[in-house]
A and B are shown apart, each in its own frame.
Chain A
């Protein structure tokens, strides 16, 4: 998605990425970023909570106006209202995705070998 922000920006649009993953936004080089520490798939917050969603949008418009240097990341002060454990369960698919299912055994093996050496 940071890649798409770059593509749209290069085409003449001003963009702002609202993301829980500033780590990735920084590595790709995203024009403007608002980082929000909400679980994946919940960029604006919880369903049926318009005030919570409006708050993030208000911060997004503020970031869009304030950021003057390409690659700037602003961090929202909002904190997720629930527990971390609940949030992790909330966003993850009920079944692991096909790629995670395919790679997990190989990956565990790799980590185990790495620990041994």
Chain B
């Protein structure tokens, strides 16, 4: 089976994507796996706009409403023991209601802990990360690349993380 990237996209959004033609920059970065899965520590990253209700600010969707070509590049740290009622979502490009029922559909923190409990992977990090995927139009991800990405990577490496699963919204 080959996944159809445009199956669930309205035609107008599909056309937007196809207008953004680009070629990969080579070489593609590569960090080979250094140990088997059952010895590896994992962290999760999503761009679904998740944040901890009460203790963190939402992503700045008010500024985006006033300036639609801008998207908030900041990130939030989501602790591994987060509970559904303590989590909220700010994302203007997504219907967030299913995530507000079960965040595991986008940030599978509880599911991945089950794999660790069964010994199929080594461990799950204490800290996971959420960003908000809309980075303006035309998309501008330089803050992610030059600032927040490296910062997140350092925090993960300090925590002893080996591998990361990323789930765009």
Interface residues of A (CB under 8 A from B): 1-24, 26-31, 35-37, 39-48, 50, 53-54, 57-58, 60-61, 64-65, 70-71, 75-77, 79, 84, 87-88, 90-94, 97-104, 107, 111
Partner of B161, one of A13, A28, A35: A13
Q: Is the CB of B108 within 8 A of A16?
A: no
Once the chains are docked, how many angstroms separate the CA of A18 from the CA of B164?
Answer: 11
B-side contacts of A64, CB under 8 Å: 33, 37, 163, 165
B-side contacts of A35, CB under 8 Å: 3, 5
For the complex formed, measure the closest distance between the CB of A13 and the CB atoms of chain B, giving whole angstroms.
Answer: 5
Interface membership of B32, Cβ < 8 A: yes
Q: Is the CB of B25 within 8 A of A41?
A: no
Q: Is the CB of A4 within 8 A of B8?
A: no
Once the chains are docked, how many angstroms separate the CA of A60 from the CA of B96?
Answer: 23
Provided the pairs A19-B168, A61-B120 are in contact, do residues A50 and B111 lie with their beta carbons within 8 angstroms? yes
| Chain A residue at minimum C-beta to C-beta distance from B84 | A47
Chain B residues within 8 Å of chain A by Cβ, number: 81
Interface residues of B (CB under 8 A from A): 1-10, 12-13, 15-17, 21-34, 37, 45-48, 64-65, 68-69, 91-96, 98-99, 101-102, 104-106, 108, 111-112, 114-115, 120-121, 131, 133-134, 137, 141, 144-145, 149-150, 152-154, 156-157, 161-169
Partner of A37, one of B4, B33, B37, B65: B4
For the complex formed, measure the closest distance between the CB of B65 and the CB atoms of chain A, giving whole angstroms.
Answer: 5
A-side contacts of B153, CB under 8 Å: 7-8, 11-13
For the complex formed, measure the closest distance between the CB of A113 and the CB atoms of chain B, giving whole angstroms.
Answer: 14
A-side contacts of B114, CB under 8 Å: 50, 54
For the complex formed, measure the closest distance between the CB of A44 and the CB atoms of chain B, giving whole angstroms.
Answer: 5
Provided the pairs A13-B162, A14-B163 are in contact, do residues A29 and B68 lie with their beta carbons within 8 angstroms? no
Q: 9 closest Cβ contacts across the A-B interface?
A: A29-B24, A7-B149, A47-B102, A11-B153, A98-B68, A23-B5, A1-B168, A10-B29, A35-B3
Q: Is the CB of A17 within 8 A of B166?
A: yes
Once the chains are docked, how many angstroms separate the CA of A94 from the CA of B94?
Answer: 8
